[in-house]
C-alpha cells in the first residue's frame, strides 16, 4: 500500500525544500490527475506539518527558508559552478530565478544588496559596509 497523498506531499517538501502548489501537483501524479494545483493547495493548507514559507511556496514546518536565504544559497552554488569570480548580472539573475522559483526582480534586488555589482557584472564578493 502506498502512503497517503498528504504524507507524500509532506515527504516531497521535506526532501526537495519549499515548493509551490503547482510544483507539488506536478511531482505527485495522483494530484495532477485529480484537481491538480487546487487540490495540492487545499491539502497543504489543512496539514499542520506544513507552512507557507514565503510568497506562494510551502515547506515543512520549521524548515522554510526566506527568499533571501534561498537566493543566497543558490548564488553561492552558482558562483562555485562557474569557477570564476564574476558573471553577467542578467545571466546570473535568470539562472537563480529559474532554479529557486523566486521572481527575477526580487532575485536582482537581493543579489545587488549582497554582492558587488559593477556595470553589467556581478562578482562573487560580498559588499562591505562601506560599499552600501
Q: What number of CA atoms fall less than 13 Å from residue 63's CA on the CB side?
A: 16
Confidence at residue 1, expressed as pLDDT on a 0 to 100 scale = 39
28: left (phi over 0), alpha (psi -120 to 50) or beta: beta
Q: Which whole-number Å values give the CA distances from 29 to 9, 12, 47, 66, in the listed order? A: 11, 12, 19, 28
User: Is the predicted pLDDT of residue 59 greater than 50, yes or no?
Assistant: yes
Average pLDDT over all residues of the chain? 84
User: Is the predicted pLDDT of residue 67 greater than 80, yes or no?
Assistant: no
User: Is the predicted pLDDT of residue 5 greater than 90, yes or no?
Assistant: no
Amino acid at each position: 500500500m502506498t502512503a497517503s497523498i498528504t504524507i507524500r506531499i509532506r515527504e516531497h517538501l521535506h526532501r526537495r525544500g519549499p515548493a509551490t502548489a503547482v510544483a507539488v501537483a506536478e511531482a505527485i501524479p495522483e494530484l495532477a490527475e485529480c484537481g491538480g494545483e487546487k487540490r495540492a493547495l487545499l491539502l497543504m493548507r489543512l496539514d499542520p506539518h506544513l507552512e507557507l514559507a514565503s510568497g506562494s511556496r510551502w515547506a515543512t514546518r520549521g524548515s522554510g527558508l526566506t527568499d533571501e536565504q534561498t537566493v543566497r544559497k543558490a548564488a553561492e552554488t552558482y558562483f562555485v559552478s562557474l569557477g570564476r569570480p564574476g558573471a553577467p548580472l542578467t545571466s546570473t539573475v535568470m539562472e537563480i530565478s529559474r532554479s529557486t522559483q523566486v521572481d527575477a526582480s526580487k532575485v536582482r534586488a537581493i543579489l545587488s544588496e549582497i554582492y558587488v555589482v559593477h556595470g553589467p557584472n556581478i562578482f562573487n564578493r560580498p559588499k562591505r559596509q562601506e560599499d552600501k
